[in-house]
């Protein structure tokens, strides 16, 4: 039994979509979350910068005594997970593999769309793993850089969100995809809008599979908390706490009151 918290982090509010599933799958686990709201988006940054920033975030979580970490960001998972794994000595999971597994199970015609940030698409990782997992698959990847600022702004259902989604996703629909993998943890915040645009295409949100993966990892490592339920969670951000708190409430259904941290001074 181990009551230390799980660390979950993202570049902003996106990782809250993973937190939401972790709270459902692992109600007895305490969570420490970090959202790097001062430096979001990472998706338009270089691999070197993404790695440098994300190392600061994992070091912060480790300094707070977490027992395991979820990299709740596709951009970091697809660009920097290897580098992070070299320095992190506790169990750590990412979001790309669970998303690939969920999408492989969902597709019927093997024509798959993946949407993510520019850096995630540039990594080519989803395409590689999906083609390994679904032999004969055709994978179309599309960067949707405007989705992240829309979600950070809380514009997830208005006409701007719908029009933006229509422009980005229209192209994939014409290519005959039957499933659409949300390869960015911010995107499930606007899943209703995305579903409206893609109609009967299956929209795959990897968050549930990510939470299940963490459950297995904790069990395999003897790190389960043993508590039946806890509300003892802490949220840290690097900037703009009130806006984060609003999104947090919308995604998790209750207020938590994030604490602001100067991440660059933490080291």
What positions carry a catalytic annotation?
A: 73, 184
> Binding to ligand DGL by residue 14, rule CB under 6 A?
yes
- Close Cβ partners of 253 (under 8 Å, ≥ 6 residues apart): none
> Binding to ligand DGL by residue 148, rule CB under 6 A?
yes
Question: Which of 6, 40, 201, 218 is the binder for ligand DGL (CB under 6 A)?
Answer: 40
* Minimum distance from residue 2 beta carbon to ligand DGL (Å): 27
> Binding to ligand DGL by residue 7, rule CB under 6 A?
no
DSSP state for residue 4 in the 8-state scheme? P
DSSP string, 86-114: HH--S-EE-SHHHHHHHHHHH-SSSEEEE
Question: Which of 20, 37, 54, 74 is the binder for ligand DGL (CB under 6 A)?
Answer: 74
* Minimum distance from residue 48 beta carbon to ligand DGL (Å): 15
* Minimum distance from residue 200 beta carbon to ligand DGL (Å): 25
CA angle 250, 255, 258 (to 5 degrees): 105
Q: Which of residues 216-235 bind ligand DGL (CB under 6 A)?
A: none
> Binding to ligand DGL by residue 41, rule CB under 6 A?
yes
3-state secondary structure string across 109-155:
CCEEEEEECHHHHHHCHHHHHHHHHCCCCEEEEEECCCHHHHHHHCC
> For residue 170, which of 191, 192, 144, 190 has the smallest C-alpha distance?
144
Q: Which residues of this chain interact with ligand DGL, rule CB under 6 A?
A: 10-11, 14, 40-43, 73-75, 116-117, 120, 148, 184-186
């Amino acid at each position: 039994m181990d009551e230390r918290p799980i660390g979950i982090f993202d570049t902003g509010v996106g990782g809250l979509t993973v937190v939401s599933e972790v709270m459902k799958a692992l109600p007895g686990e305490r969570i420490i979350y970090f959202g790097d709201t001062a430096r979001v988006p990472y998706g338009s940054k270089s691999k070197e910068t993404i790695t440098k920033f994300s190392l600061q975030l994992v070091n912060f979580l480790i300094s707070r005594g977490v027992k395991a970490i979820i990299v709740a960001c596709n951009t970091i998972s697809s660009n920097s997970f290897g580098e992070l794994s070299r320095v992190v000595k506790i169990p750590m999971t990412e979001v790309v593999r669970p998303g690939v597994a969920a999408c492989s199970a969902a597709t019927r015609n093997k024509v798959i769309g993946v949407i993510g940030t520019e850096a995630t698409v540039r990594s080519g990782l989803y395409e590689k793993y999906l083609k390994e997992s679904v032999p004969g698959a055709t994978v179309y990847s599309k960067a949707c850089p405007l989705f992240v600022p829309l979600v950070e702004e809380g514009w997830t259902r208005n006409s701007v969100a719908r029009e933006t989604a229509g422009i980005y996703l229209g192209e994939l629909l014409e290519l005959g995809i039957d499933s659409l993998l949300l390869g960015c943890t911010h995107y499930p915040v606007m899943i209703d809008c995305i579903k409206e645009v893609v109609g009967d295409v299956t929209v795959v949100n990897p968050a549930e599979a990510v939470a299940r993966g963490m459950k297995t990892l904790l069990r395999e490592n003897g790190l389960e908390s043993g508590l039946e339920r806890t509300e003892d969670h802490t949220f840290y951000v690097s900037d703009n706490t009130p806006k984060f708190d609003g999104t947090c409430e919308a995604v998790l259904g209750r207020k938590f009151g994030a604490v602001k941290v100067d991440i660059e001074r933490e080291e």
